[in-house]
Amino acid sequence: MSSFDQQVTFLLVADLEASTSFYRDIIGLETVLDQGDCRIMRVTDSAFLGICQRAERGDPGAVLVTLVTDDVDAEHARLIASGVECEKGPNRNEKYNLYHAFYRDPDGFLIEVQRFLDPAWPRPVS
């Protein structure tokens, strides 16, 4: 077992304010650390999403951010009502035994909202 306590995924974005607004106001994440050109937002007690404004950015198609929830349909309705671009609506993925939907953020990063149907998936530790 590793000694890691937390996890941060960083996205390099073109417009920090647009991305902050998207992840804070639409997705609903709280900014926990503002470093000027980077902002770190809380996803769960131990997982974070960092967004950093950079001129040099990678291919947004090479990154997939997955947010796990028990209610994919409610999140889908909320995101659509907020005007988020839906790439593929909620559906069951038999191969991986999950239920999910896909969206795009302002920089074109793919956001997956999913629920694991496999009972072997580890639930959050309280």
As given in the structure block, the two tokens for residue 49 are 């999403």
- Give the amino acid at 85: E
Sign of the CA dihedral 22, 25, 26, 29? Answer: positive
Residue in the structure block whose two tokens are 């999913």: 114
Q: Under CATH, which architecture does the 7-116 domain have?
A: Roll (3.10)
Residue 126 is predicted with a pLDDT of 66
The model's pTM? 0.89
Rounded CA-CA distance 111/97 in Å is 18
The H-or-E segment that residue 75 falls in is helix 72-81
Domains in the chain: boundaries: 7-116
pLDDT in tens, the chain (126 residues): 777 788 999 999 999 999 999 999 999 999 999 999 999 999 999 999 999 999 888 888 888 999 999 999 999 999 999 999 999 999 999 999 999 999 999 999 999 999 999 988 888 776
Which residue has tokens 């077992």?
A: 1
The pair of structure tokens assigned to 115 is 């629920």
The CA distance from 103 to 79, in Å, is 9
d(CA 111, CA 29): 14
Cβ–Cβ under 8 Å, residues 46 and 6: yes
